[in-house]
Amino acid sequence: EVKKVWQYIKHTRNLRFTIQPAKPTKFLTIYSDATWGDDPDSRTSQSGYLCYLFGSLISWNSCRQRNITYSSTEAELNPLVESFHEGLWLKALTNKMWGLKLKAADHLIDDADLNEQLIMDDRSFKEQFCTNHLIDNKVLNEKLKKFGSNPKTRHIDLRTKGIRQEIKAKKIKIALVKTRDMIADPLTKPAPIEPLKNLVRAVDPSFDLSLWTASPATRSVGNTHP
């Protein structure tokens, strides 16, 4: 095991984590995913999410869910709700930093019209900068967009309607992506090499994947839990 760890460190020493505005037009994008009852002993699920601020990875999480879920829809709803609250915190932090930055630069802006466009109140900020949540569960996507209740999913009704409320208020958007494009997938289970490559590209697009995949340690990294 020590040898595998050493090989992994050796072949990923050039892998970097850089925070920079790679996509200035994309405010906050969050990928969330989950397994369903994959733990053979507890039958709990594994959650994972990735938060991108202006195209740069800024927050992430991978954890075992506390309770047993009765469907894959419920299992994937859990990381969506968790990442929603993380997004709220990131949005509040960005709002505060935005205000401080503009306040400090106010005396440097001579154009009155430009100054008025840049300065916005909290409500305008929340409305303009909507959080995009990406999921790969079709049933969950349909459930969030169809208002109403289902007796089979009444036990998750509060969380579902809470997310619907945010969608209706245009504070968040939910989009469905293909499973192969879900870059949070390796955070939930041992993953094949291609999903791991997608995750590495998302962290550092400039990293030479040919060097990484040539390593015996990285070829076997999918056999261990993240």
Read off the tokens for 108.
Answer: 């440097």
Domain residue spans in the chain? 17-205
**Better-scored residue on pLDDT, 36 or 9:** 36
pLDDT beyond 70 at 114:
no
Structure confidence at residue 211 (pLDDT): 62
Q: What are phi and psi of 62, to 5 degrees?
A: -140, 120
Mean pLDDT score, 68-95: 93
pLDDT tens track for 152-190: 666 788 899 999 999 998 889 999 999 989 999 999 998
| Start-to-end Cα distance in the chain | 15
Fold of 17-205: Nucleotidyltransferase; domain 5 (3.30.420)
**Burial letters for 23-40: b for 16+ Cβ neighbours within 10 Å, e otherwise?**
eeeebbbbbbbbbbbbee
Report how far residue 196's alpha carbon sits from residue 223's, in angstroms, rounded to the nearest whole number.
12
- C-alpha 65 chain-centroid distance: 16
Task: Locate 119 and state its tokens.
Answer: 């300065």
Instruction: Name which residue leads in pLDDT, 203 or 53.
Output: 53
H-helix or E-strand spanning residue 30: strand 28-34
* Percentage above 90 pLDDT, the chain: 42
pLDDT tens readout for residues 203-222: 877 777 776 655 554 444 44
**pLDDT at residue 128, rounded to an integer:** 66
